[in-house]
Amino acid sequence: MKKIPWIHIILFITTFLSTLVFGALQTQMPEDIIKEPARLLNGLPFSLTLMFMLLCHELSHYIASKKHHVEATLPYFIPAPTLIGTLGAFIKMKSPITTRRALIDIGASGPIAGFIISLAAVIIGLPLSKVMPAKQVAGSLSLGDSLLFSFLSRLIVGEIPDSYDILLHPIAFAGWIGFFVTALNLIPVGQLDGGHVAYAILGNRHTNVSKLLVLIMLILGFFFWEGWLIWAVLLLILGLKHPPVLYWETPLDDRRRAICWTTIIIFVVTFIPVPFKAI
């Protein structure tokens, strides 16, 4: 008889509640929610979209792991008092990855699945967003644009005058977060998802690429967005080397190479040099 995975269930429910609260706070004041708790339901569009994106990302990793007979845990969700109510989710590998093919399938499956859900969220949420005078959103947080988000904004909303800005609908905001999370995961450093893919292609040369990219993040942190400094230090703590696969000699096929190029393209179009800034 299998045990009920209580820790995973509790973390999932807690993260759903925290994203629900922070989703509701995006559209109203805390005192309004205290007076009328039913207003928490206004956070559902953001919370459900974000949770579905994270769930698809992690379950794709989990399913790919099972397909290649790699033992992995169910997703651990992380509730946190952040702008979005969570620090994301992760699964834990409990056995070595056997081949480079398996490494690419496991590493790339999550970001690709999360990207697809995020893309759908942005396409659905942008038409529901509002174009407002910039002075009406002064004092709030301005979101940077990736190449893809900028393209979709122009395509769906149209050209925005200099004195105006887009107030994103919660679904579009969750999609923006999804793009940002996807790009972070696809940075080809260490044991990030992008690191898995890069190691499968480059082998031990991947460590040198990791060092170079961490240096670039430090430079970006000093001159563009301070968050890159935190991310670079965190990656240094986690380690830049990737553990070897058991059977390196198993060659990559054309499908896996196409998956690698797909992740590179997704990373380029979703990367944001300056994700947040105050206005």
Band of pLDDT at residue 29, cut at 50, 70 and 90: confident
85-136 per-position pLDDT tens digit: 999 999 999 999 999 999 999 999 999 999 999 999 999 999 999 888 866 6
187-223 per-position pLDDT tens digit: 999 999 999 999 999 998 999 999 999 999 999 999 9
For 25-43, what is the HEC assignment?
HCCCCHHHHHHCHHHHHHH
Q: Bigger pLDDT: 26 or 264?
A: 264
Please tell me the predicted confidence (pLDDT) of residue 38. 84
Q: Is the pLDDT of residue 66 over 90?
A: yes
What ranges do the domains of the chain cover? Answer: 6-185
Q: Is the pLDDT of residue 31 over 90?
A: no
Q: Is the pLDDT of residue 7 over 90?
A: yes
195-210 as b/e: b if 16+ CB within 10 A:
bbbbbbbeeeebbebb
The average confidence (pLDDT) of the chain is 92
Please tell me the predicted confidence (pLDDT) of residue 139. 54
Q: Is the pLDDT of residue 185 over 60?
A: yes
Q: What is the DSSP letter of 243?
A: P
SS3 84: coil
247-259 as b/e: b if 16+ CB within 10 A:
eeeeebeeebeeb
75-87 per-position pLDDT tens digit: 999 999 888 999 9
